Structure 1
Amino acid sequence: MVRRLLSYIIPVNVASRKSEWSKNLEITWNNGELVMDSKNTNYSYGSLQRILRKGLQAIGFDEIQAMEHILVLGVAGGSVIKTITDEIGFKGKITGVDIDAGVIALANEYFGLDAIPNLEIVIDDAFEFVLKTKDRYDLIIIDIFQDTAMPNFLFESFFSKRIHFLLRAKGILLFNTMLLSKQDNIRNDDYVSELQQLGFDTEVIPRVEEHNELIVARKV
């Protein structure tokens, strides 16, 4: 494909869309990879897929394969789901929650998200979903951004306690965060301290792809 080869020299735009929640989304060939980007950051595949793959490797692919139900809060193009199904070979149930129907439509069109048989997509606000769901999960992945901003509710005590409740015994939280300021560093330090008080064994993987910090928390 000419566009794919050209992308090793310069990024090649394939499609641009706006949605209710995302001012601008682009599908682009970049260094031979088809990626989804917002105005200021990578949304799926490319660097984001590498970031979350590191978190999954820290948990252990064998451990993930043995799980029954994974919850993904913040789907975007579905790159972490592709890693879980294609690379890890996970056969259990995956529930993906995203507030933006437009981004899911793009993910279906360009990345074949709707062809994954063990995936259920729910269009909903993540906060509302965790309040309503009656399921329990072995792994909860949080990857929620609006461009480079992270909603405040992700770091609130009530939400953290609800995540703890929804995880099965020895369940795991994988949380992708972005650090762009000193205040973001303080926020993450406070958040990790709170997770430890709730009864999580925490591991922090700092400065993944420069600005991202992964938090891996095991329920004990």
Structure 2
Amino acid sequence: MLKRFFSYFIPVMVYQKKSEINKNLEVTWNNGQLVLDSKNTNYSYGSLQRILRKGLQYIGFERIRNFEQILVLGVAGGSVIKTLAEEIKCKGHITGVEIDPAVIAIANEYFGLDRIPNVEIIIDDAFEFILKTKNRYDLIIIDIFQDLTMPNFLFEEFFIHRINYLLRKEGFILFNTMTLTPEHTQRNLDYRSKFDSDYSVRMYPKVEDHNELYTIKKLR
């Protein structure tokens, strides 16, 4: 508990690991909270949990509570899954897809991800998973980063169309993006333009400084 106390004054690292996917993973006490960070950004808990929680608020906790199937692409430490299960009290099945097994090992040991009921964690590439899955989902959360970088495929039409196909009518996509350059801003504008009148698209800029959130509802 001393580490937690001192973390209100200075971050206190408790574990560090490199993996084939992530060059640096750090579990740190920060302001009394255990967080998971990469080299340059927060991966789980901390600011990321606040960002995704805001997105879920925009969709509506009461609505989410009744969803039967939820897909999380990019699990990291599992903070959004904890928000769904423990705060929103979602009783539906949550499938989390994470490419880095080292991250899931950390999530289980330090954040108790494996103790949350109704959760299935799959180690796989998100792109490969969405090609294989036969399920349809009420909510798809996309939160895929490698440090400060977002894979290009997230913004390509094939991936967007496949995600849309997997989404049930009246379902939602929650997409967390990072805008650090003018090119990123234009990329996000182009992304928004790829949805037709079958979808209701809302963008929430400047969430925790550099993040833009999208909520996308499938109308028909």
State whether TM-score is above 0.5: yes
* Residue of structure 2 in register with 1:162 after alignment: 162
1:199 equivalenced with 2:195 (yes/no): no
Question: Alpha carbon RMSD of aligned pairs, Å?
Answer: 0.7
Matches of 2:24 and 2:175, distance apart in 1:
24
Structure 2 letter corresponding to 1:207: K
* Residue of structure 1 in register with 2:42 after alignment: 42
Structure 1 letter corresponding to 2:177: T
> What is the DSSP-based 3-state SS (H/G/I as helix, E as strand, rest coil) of the residue aligned with 2:3?
helix
Aligned pairs for 1:14-33 (under 5 A) are 14-33=14-33
Matches of 1:115 and 1:82, distance apart in 2:
10
Matches of 1:48 and 1:35, distance apart in 2:
10
- Is the 1:176–1:212 Cα contact (8 Å) retained in structure 2? yes
* Residue of structure 2 in register with 1:98 after alignment: 98
Deviation string, structure 1 residues 183-216 (Cα, Å, up to 9, x no partner):
0000000101102x27210111101000000000
Structure 1 letter corresponding to 2:157: S
Structure 2 unaligned residues grouped into runs of 5+: none
- Is the 1:164–1:198 Cα contact (8 Å) retained in structure 2? no
Deviation string, structure 1 residues 129-152 (Cα, Å, up to 9, x no partner):
000000000000000000000000
* Residue of structure 1 in register with 2:112 after alignment: 112
> What is the DSSP-based 3-state SS (H/G/I as helix, E as strand, rest coil) of the residue aligned with 2:194?
helix
* Residue of structure 2 in register with 1:76 after alignment: 76
* Residue of structure 2 in register with 1:213 after alignment: 212
* Residue of structure 2 in register with 1:67 after alignment: 67
* Residue of structure 1 in register with 2:184 after alignment: 184
Structure 1 letter corresponding to 2:207: V
Q: TM-score, normalised by structure 1?
A: 0.99
Q: Which runs of 4+ in 1 moved over 4 A?
A: none
Comparing 198-207 with 168-177, which one deviates more in the overlay? 198-207
Aligned pairs for 1:44-59 (under 5 A) are 44-59=44-59
Structure 2 letter corresponding to 1:5: F
**What is the Cα deviation at residue 180 of structure 1?**
0.3
Deviation string, structure 1 residues 156-178 (Cα, Å, up to 9, x no partner):
00000001000011110000000
**What is the Cα deviation at residue 85 of structure 1?**
0.5
